[in-house]
């Protein structure tokens, strides 16, 4: 169920790398392919009263899988974006869901 939320990178570019990147993530996280979702979020950056380019930012929202797996996932995503999409710099952050606060169809995990 890892949700990968991307801002500041064109969705067509993300499509180009998505299969290979998810292949690598499935191996690293050890969960089924259909648990992964990539969401490209359209956003507008405003700096000093002017519309500006959105800085590339990726958020991974998931249940904690430990620091080692988290480090591997961060590297997989960052490497796929930077090497294949000519993105020089980007940030990535993890949001961790707590099972008792995450609900599916009204039932918590």
Residue 9, pLDDT above cutoff 90: yes
Domain residue limits, the chain? 2-108
pLDDT at 109: 80
Report whether pLDDT(75) > 90. Answer: yes
The three state secondary structure string of 43-95 is CCEEECCEEECCCCEEEEEEECCCHHHHHHHHHHHHHHHHHHHCCCCCEEEEE
Q: Is 9 helix (H, G, I), strand (E, B) or coil?
A: coil
CATH class of 2-108: alpha beta
Closest by CA position to 55, among listed 2, 6, 5, 3? 6
pLDDT at residue 24 tops 90: yes
With cut-offs at 50, 70 and 90, classify the pLDDT of residue 1: confident
């Amino acid at each position: 169920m890892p949700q990968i939320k991307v801002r500041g990178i064109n969705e067509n570019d993300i499509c180009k790398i998505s299969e290979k990147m998810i292949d690598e993530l499935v191996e690293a996280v050890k969960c089924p392919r259909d648990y992964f979702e990539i969401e490209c979020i359209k956003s507008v950056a405003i700096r000093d009263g002017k519309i500006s380019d959105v800085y590339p930012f990726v958020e991974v929202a998931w249940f904690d899988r430990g620091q080692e797996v988290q480090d591997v996932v961060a590297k997989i995503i960052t490497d796929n974006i930077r090497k294949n999409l000519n993105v020089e710099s980007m940030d990535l952050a993890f949001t961790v869901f707590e099972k008792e606060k995450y609900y599916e169809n009204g039932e918590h995990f």
